[in-house]
Amino acid sequence: MEEKISFAKMSGAGNDFIVMDNRHGAVETRDLSGFAAKVCARRLSVGADGLILIEKSRDADFRWQFFNSDGSRGEMCGNGARCAARFAWQEGIAPSSMTFETDAGLIRAEVDGDRVKIQMTNPSAVKLGHRLNIEGKELEYGFVNTGVPHAVLEVENLAEVDVVNLGRLIRNHDVFQPAGTNVNFIACDSNGIWEIRTYERGVENETLACGTGSVAAALALATKGKQESPVRLKTASGVTLSVYFKSRGKGCFDHVFLEGDARVIYKAVMHPDAWDY
């Protein structure tokens, strides 16, 4: 591993990421999970919700490796994908219209300034009406895999939801084992705006936004007949994400797109003290 590593700190709707150009092996370690957990640790290092490594690809403009802040590998991350696309465009790695490989499949992206629109891999069919017993209370939820698994629960008052504790119980419930699930809580405010809060697997906490979770929520609402494309969801950061799709009936969707910001907060050089502790 190089003694110093250049990186960008980026934010997508409040999800923050460390993004590195690893096409020439800047990060050469057998324990990438450990490295990710170290540099993503807040107050001890750079701090982020995830680490994105941009690498060479034979079949696309680039491929990525994505790690959650706990060091676990993530198949897909909607907000991270937008940041990866803008970084690749800024660094001359890819044109403004690009494709890149993820563990969830090939992603297409269009960069327009600090706005990025990505085409997601086709989600699994949305399943509604599932029930779950949590500490003696029966909860109803929908489920869809948008590259990663998501449970979606519609609630009356989003501000009153204990996202961390309830989200953790659902995330670790036997029904979702062994992989676990992300958990999204959604509600419609008095102005008719849908809001979302998410407990993210791998971060093991509530985050300010979740791209794949916003897609899951939008598709669940569409399956219920409550929304048509595009669906706009206001995240905990206050930033709104837009989800576009075509419905094929029975909870099936394709041509799914996620659009939102991808902002460069700063670019810097990381010293070994950032991971060697």
Which pLDDT score, from 0 to 100, does residue 195 have? 98
Which pLDDT score, from 0 to 100, does residue 29 have? 79
Which pLDDT score, from 0 to 100, does residue 3 have? 86
Same domain, 81 and 135: no
Same domain, 217 and 181: yes
**Whether the predicted model's global pTM rises above the 0.85 cut:** yes
Q: Does 77 qualify as catalytic in the annotation?
A: yes
Catalytic residue, candidates 77, 83, 188, 252: 77
Which pLDDT score, from 0 to 100, does residue 30 have? 81
What does pLDDT average to in each consecutive run of 10 residues of the chain (277 residues)?
91 98 91 97 98 97 97 95 98 98 96 97 96 94 97 97 98 96 96 95 97 98 97 97 96 97 98 96
Same domain, 139 and 249: yes
Count of structural domains within the chain: 2
Q: Bridge-partner residues for 2, per DSSP?
A: none
Catalytic residue, candidates 40, 188, 210, 252: 210
Which CA distances in Å does 273 have to 37, 77, 100, 270?
Answer: 14, 28, 31, 8
- Domain residues for the domain of 186 are 127-260
Does residue 183 belong to any structural domain of this protein?
Answer: yes
Q: Does 83 qualify as catalytic in the annotation?
A: no
Same domain, 142 and 243: yes
Same domain, 83 and 43: yes
Same domain, 143 and 104: no
